[in-house]
Amino acid sequence: MIMTMKELRAENDIKRELLTEQNEAYYSKLLVYVRLQFFFGEHRAEEVLIEMLDHLLEGQEEGKTAAEIFGDNPKGYADELIGQLPKDGKRSLFSFCTYFLIYPFAGLLMIRGIMLLIFLQFKAIDQHIYLYSGIAFSVAVIIVYNVAGWLSSRGTRRSIFGEEESIRKSTVRGGLRGGLLIGFVVAVMQFYKEQGPAILIPWYGSLAVGFVLWLVSRVIKYKAVPK
């Protein structure tokens, strides 16, 4: 019987309590690192983490440390392990790309609907969207959302194994990246300002479509995960 994601994570949490403080610290780094690998199926990743944990507990009973079992280079071991995951454990590329296209667009529509609803309580607001401008802005937001997510995930993965930059350098780099991403969106908005036919999309339409797309994105994300 295939365990669900919830059951796998619950079992992981219970078994981790049996680890020594030193081994738990080592394993926790591997756990976070593996879970941040977006291109691999979450369910298969959780199964691999349980297998690693069982192996670690067996070694611990024999008096071994995690470093003795997996080596002194946890990142290298994790990368090697991830590279050996079977192809059928990888997420569908189509589903992966579709999710990261629909999800931010759904959020954008719902935010627009909520903001219009709030501001309409105080004054009349034009609820038309210029088609070409709307498409360009949506594409820009989707790009920025995914790039920002990738950069954040990359930084987290690096920091797990002590590869983080100094706080000052990291802050400056983050500020520059954030400024460039925001500047990109602003530039697109200015370049495509009020272009294309105007289409009336009231706040409730924006909110409803956004919510439906959000539901679709959730289904796409988890459709390959055993329930």
Average pLDDT score over residue span 196-225: 84
Using an 8 Å Cβ cutoff, are 225 and 9 in contact?
no
Residue percentage of the chain with pLDDT more than 70 = 78
Name the pLDDT band for 207 (thresholds 50, 70, 90). Answer: very high
pLDDT mean over 39-46:
69
Q: Is the dihedral of CA 143, 145, 148, 153 positive or negative?
A: negative
Q: pLDDT averaged over the chain? A: 79
Between residues 173 and 143, the one the model is more confident about: 143
Task: Kindly tell me if the per-residue pLDDT of 39 is higher than 90.
Answer: no
User: What is the structure's pLDDT at 114?
Assistant: 92
**Choice among 5-14, 71-80, 208-217 with the minimum mean pLDDT:** 71-80
The full set of domain ranges for the chain reads 5-89, 93-222
The overall pTM is greater than 0.85 = no
The whole-angstrom separation of Cα 52 and Cα 102 is 34
Summarised one tens digit per residue, pLDDT across range 114-127 is: 998 998 888 888 88
Sorting pLDDT into bands at 50, 70 and 90, what band is 208?
very high
* Chain Cα centroid distance, residue 60: 33
Write down the pLDDT at residue 49: 85
Contacting residues for 105 by C-beta, under 8 A, at least 6 apart: 138, 141, 142, 210, 213
